[in-house]
A and B are shown apart, each in its own frame.
Chain A
């Protein structure tokens, strides 16, 4: 298992390096980073001055090295809009996004797992139907549209819930629901199919042939095996939520990283965008690493692999 984890660690570092390369080159893909970072109506002279100030007129290799060496210590330069260092700005926003994602994930788990378990155990039943419906809708409803619809009904018409801001606990309800719905959908489906598949496995038949109690078979043989793929997916989905909260935060004016990146794009504040892109990637990569670790711990075939 150690070897597996070490190789995953190395992989993760390689990925992060790749992300840095990507992030660096993405702002240069049109050839001139200065033009995209300056307002459209800027004069050629001011663009030239900006280019020189930011060091975009140096050879690319030099720029890259500079970027790299600064990035690994967390220095992404100053935000063009706020004129203060980018990374601390974003870190300030991180808790809000994490809060949203955590809330969404919690909601998703609480609804999806029981429904999936029941659905997989009693296919064709009413609960299974509900579970499958949620599964389908969760993955088909555009969450940005759903957010608008829900705001319209709950906040505007019924005046039950706030439609923006992060002031009270109630503000979390709508955004967490919308953010968590796609995950809820895929988790229901996954749980259901895992349970269904495992129920047909030979070792479950063996368990029945031993004359064990059904409840015991369910927990020890079925659930324990179903948990394995679930753990992976939960970790990955959490990463999606952290990285995909742009719409939700924008619509609900939730002061997190997603909102900031949307604003930063509007301000053409690309150093800030780069910093957010990198930080989010780091979080996702680290999350995936932890998920793999958890997976390796849970599955004895990997933990004690020969």
Chain B
């Protein structure tokens, strides 16, 4: 495909006009305030994004304010009142709204405290994965050549592995602790961030932004902050939300297999694991934590979906 003919005489109707608004709304040219309003309208239109946001905020809220909103201490056992069903069924008691587990611990409190583990793993894990991934991706994209090939090879290796299997493998070796879980997820989920970052860097290089910035004497750091990072934010946030959803999910899964945090710490996965034994007699012990996992995951997924729509190429054009 050749270039469009460039003429100096006004033989082209386009040269006279400021290019018309046409049929597409070019939000990139409006101010950020307008965009905020636009986002608000998008949220309203696409109510599932609101649901996602609400679920996410609920998760954060319950994690942060756990000591204040839980009716009981999650660790205290009331052996005489063990395996009580939820309050609204017969045999239940409103003292323990969702019932109690086999050791008489209040389920609602344990679920609220469990959100702390999930949120911590999710947030810290994502931060580590994102940071690590971004670093790797930037180095890989910038350096090019052999370094890029080597790093990409390594990244592809990790991505090619059956994820769950290796996570289970390494978790079993390292032992049960919150830090281990966070580190495992932080490292195993970094490749996707690395790949996204590298993709953006390459795209920008190809589009000439890097070269032209260099041509006018901009140093590496300036290019990084002015051009690359703003473009990264969109895709990375989207990937981050989905990754967080996955981390919450997999932490629970590990807990289910008894490989996550120690059994004394209330985590949704642990609760599922212990609840499994009582499935026939006290199904709520496993039932409610699972619902919590589901809503947390769902919320993040909805949020991620909505973010992906909003942060689409339209807004991406907001470059300097």
Residues of A within 8 A of B (CB): 11, 14-15, 18-19, 22, 26-27, 29-30, 36, 136-137, 139-142, 144-146, 148-149, 151-152, 156, 239-240, 242-244, 246-247, 250-251, 261-262, 265, 273, 276-277, 280-281, 284-285, 288
Q: Report Cα–Cα, A30/B181, bound state, in Å.
A: 15
Contact with A along B153-181 (1 / 0, CB 8 A): 11011001111111011101110000000
Q: Report Cα–Cα, A106/B317, bound state, in Å.
A: 42
A-B contact pairs, 13 of them (CB 8 A): A14-B153, A18-B157, A22-B157, A22-B166, A142-B249, A142-B252, A142-B253, A145-B290, A148-B275, A148-B286, A156-B280, A247-B256, A280-B165
The answer to whether A281 touches B286, judged by C-beta atoms less than 8 angstroms apart, is: no
Known contacts: A15-B157, A246-B164, A284-B161. The answer to whether A145 contacts B173 by CB under 8 A is no
| Residue B64 lies at the interface, judged by CB distance under 8 Å to chain A | no
Known contacts: A142-B290, A145-B272. The answer to whether A244 contacts B165 by CB under 8 A is yes
The answer to whether B157 touches A19, judged by C-beta atoms less than 8 angstroms apart, is: yes
The answer to whether A142 touches B294, judged by C-beta atoms less than 8 angstroms apart, is: yes
Given contacts A19-B161, A29-B170, A145-B252, 19 further A-B contacts (CB under 8 A): A26-B166, A27-B173, A137-B298, A139-B301, A140-B245, A141-B294, A142-B253, A142-B293, A148-B272, A149-B287, A152-B279, A239-B162, A240-B163, A243-B164, A244-B163, A244-B165, A247-B257, A250-B257, A280-B162
| Residue B263 lies at the interface, judged by CB distance under 8 Å to chain A | no
Known contacts: A11-B156, A30-B174. The answer to whether A281 contacts B280 by CB under 8 A is no
**Which of A152, A251, A262 is the one whose CB lies under 8 Å from B283?**
A152
Q: Report Cα–Cα, A280/B169, bound state, in Å.
A: 13
The answer to whether A240 touches B162, judged by C-beta atoms less than 8 angstroms apart, is: yes
Contact with A along B263-290 (1 / 0, CB 8 A): 0000000001001100110010011011
Q: Report Cα–Cα, A121/B196, bound state, in Å.
A: 30
Q: Report Cα–Cα, A251/B253, bound state, in Å.
A: 12
The answer to whether B173 touches A29, judged by C-beta atoms less than 8 angstroms apart, is: yes
The SS class assigned to the A binding surface is helix
List the B side residues contacting A261 at CB < 8 Å. Answer: 165, 168-169
Known contacts: A156-B279, A242-B162, A280-B162. The answer to whether A144 contacts B172 by CB under 8 A is no
List the B side residues contacting A273 at CB < 8 Å. Answer: 169, 172
**Which of B164, B253, B290 is the one whose CB lies under 8 Å from A149?**
B290
**Which of A15, A27, A265 is the one whose CB lies under 8 Å from B168?**
A265
Q: Report Cα–Cα, A250/B253, bound state, in Å.
A: 12
Residues of B within 8 A of A (CB): 153-154, 156-157, 160-166, 168-170, 172-174, 245, 249, 252-253, 256-257, 259, 272, 275-276, 279-280, 283, 286-287, 289-290, 293-294, 297-298, 301-302
Q: Report Cα–Cα, A101/B163, bound state, in Å.
A: 16
The answer to whether B156 touches A15, judged by C-beta atoms less than 8 angstroms apart, is: yes
List the A side residues contacting B162 at CB < 8 Å. Answer: 239-240, 242-244, 280-281, 284
Cβ distance B107 to chain A, nearest Cβ, rounded Å: 15
Residue of chain A at shortest CB distance from B273: A144
The answer to whether B276 touches A148, judged by C-beta atoms less than 8 angstroms apart, is: yes
Scoring B156, B173, B275 by chain A CB atoms within 10 A of each residue's CB, the highest score goes to: B173
The answer to whether A36 touches B173, judged by C-beta atoms less than 8 angstroms apart, is: yes
Cβ distance A33 to chain B, nearest Cβ, rounded Å: 9
Q: Report Cα–Cα, A136/B279, bound state, in Å.
A: 26
Which 4 residue pairs spanning A and B have beta carbons closest together?
A243-B162, A145-B290, A140-B298, A18-B157
List the A side residues contacting B249 at CB < 8 Å. Answer: 142
List the B side residues contacting A146 at CB < 8 Å. Answer: 290
Cβ distance B308 to chain A, nearest Cβ, rounded Å: 11
Cβ distance B188 to chain A, nearest Cβ, rounded Å: 11
List the B side residues contacting A244 at CB < 8 Å. Answer: 162-165
Q: Report Cα–Cα, A146/B252, bound state, in Å.
A: 13
List the A side residues contacting B272 at CB < 8 Å. Answer: 144-145, 148
List the B side residues contacting A136 at CB < 8 Å. Answer: 298, 301-302
Q: Report Cα–Cα, A11/B154, bound state, in Å.
A: 11
Q: Report Cα–Cα, A27/B172, bound state, in Å.
A: 10
Cβ distance B309 to chain A, nearest Cβ, rounded Å: 11
Cβ distance A117 to chain B, nearest Cβ, rounded Å: 20
**Which of A29, A142, A277 is the one whose CB lies under 8 Å from B165?**
A277
Scoring B156, B169, B245, B279 by chain A CB atoms within 10 A of each residue's CB, the highest score goes to: B169
Cβ distance B184 to chain A, nearest Cβ, rounded Å: 11
Cβ distance B286 to chain A, nearest Cβ, rounded Å: 5
List the B side residues contacting A285 at CB < 8 Å. Answer: 160
The answer to whether B157 touches A140, judged by C-beta atoms less than 8 angstroms apart, is: no
Residue of chain B at shortest CB distance from A137: B298
Residue of chain B at shortest CB distance from A262: B257
Q: Report Cα–Cα, A282/B156, bound state, in Å.
A: 15
The answer to whether B169 touches A281, judged by C-beta atoms less than 8 angstroms apart, is: no
The answer to whether B166 touches A277, judged by C-beta atoms less than 8 angstroms apart, is: yes
